[in-house]
Structure 1
Amino acid sequence: MPGGRAFLDSNIPLYLIGSDLTKAAVADGLILAGGTISLQVLAEVATVARRKHALSWDEIEDVLGVLREVCDVVELTSRMFSHAVELARQTGYALDDCQIIAAALASGCDVLYSEDMQDGHEIDGVLTIRNPFKI
């Protein structure tokens, strides 16, 4: 985590159960460094693990357990949701993505690792979105 706290979007831990070994290694390093995630990230990981990777619920619980053990987990609050709506209006990102951004900001993170949003985009002057797979 260069310089501070990192927030991980759901696509980062999902590479741990995918077939791309290069991205899995990057994701593993980010997760083991200890980041912050939200309950939304856990829910998205579970949904994709079940639908796209056909993991059993026991396997999904194992993955979620590791994430909860290694990462700080934050809950979405009403204030964070309101901020997410405003961020969606300002940035044009989907509300789901803006909930991730709002959680990262509320957690005091200065970097958000995501493959889905614009690499280098700075939010509110304090949070920078980084694609850890971009070379």
Structure 2
Amino acid sequence: MPVSFVDSNVLLYLTSGDAAKANRAESVVAAGGAISVQVLNEVANVARRKMHMQWAEVRAMLALLRGLLDVHPLTVETHDAALAIAERYGLSTYDAMIVASALLCGCDTLWSEDMQNGLIIEGRLRIVDPFVAAG
């Protein structure tokens, strides 16, 4: 069964003051899916640096995400695939790492606010902005 992959920018809206975006992000997560260790790292970085969360709060949020979504490791295979994707599609290295992780875990949808909505990667992974899709 195809699986969705969730980018860090969508997960960060779970704690947003924007109720509509927080609710949409919650719906995406509630449907299940996958993330990578990179996504956890990005969430932790933004939570500390921009949201000024305490370490205990960051750990609690990460534990919640790890309990709700399947977490996939970063590997050399992911790195190599991402470099090829970055070159082919003109994505940043970090966005390409997210895309490569999604492809390697067999996902057909990548929920991301930061990448081109509707872009299809390798003929099998569609990038969907959940906030545009929600109207």
What is the TM-score when the length of structure 1 is the normalising length?
0.96
Segments of 5+ residues of structure 1 without an aligned counterpart are: none
Q: Indicate whether 1:13 and 2:11 are aligned.
A: yes
Runs of 4+ in 1 over 3 A off after TM superposition: none
For 2:62 and 2:77, locate their aligned partners in 1 and report how far apart those are by CA, in whole Å.
Answer: 26
Q: Indicate whether 1:59 and 2:57 are aligned.
A: yes
Could you tell me which residue of structure 2 aligns to residue 40 of structure 1?
A: 38
Residue correspondence of structure 1 range 70-109 to structure 2 within 5 A:
70-109=68-107
For 1:128 and 1:84, locate their aligned partners in 2 and report how far apart those are by CA, in whole Å.
Answer: 16
> Counterpart of 2:52 in 1: which secondary structure?
coil
Could you tell me which residue of structure 1 aligns to residue 22 of structure 2?
A: 24
Amino acid at match of 2:11: P
For 1:16 and 1:118, locate their aligned partners in 2 and report how far apart those are by CA, in whole Å.
Answer: 21
For 1:113 and 1:90, locate their aligned partners in 2 and report how far apart those are by CA, in whole Å.
Answer: 20
What is the TM-score when the length of structure 2 is the normalising length?
0.96
Q: What is the number of equivalent residue pairs in this alignment?
A: 133
> Counterpart of 1:133 in 2: which secondary structure?
helix
For 1:57 and 1:71, locate their aligned partners in 2 and report how far apart those are by CA, in whole Å.
Answer: 21
> Counterpart of 2:91 in 1: which secondary structure?
coil
1:58-87 per-residue CA deviation (whole Å, 9 max, x = no partner) reads 001110001000100000110110010010
For 2:120 and 2:14, locate their aligned partners in 1 and report how far apart those are by CA, in whole Å.
Answer: 27
For 2:124 and 2:62, locate their aligned partners in 1 and report how far apart those are by CA, in whole Å.
Answer: 28
Deviation of 1:4 after TM superposition, in Å, equals 2.9
Segments of 5+ residues of structure 2 without an aligned counterpart are: none
Could you tell me which residue of structure 1 aligns to residue 48 of structure 2?
A: 50
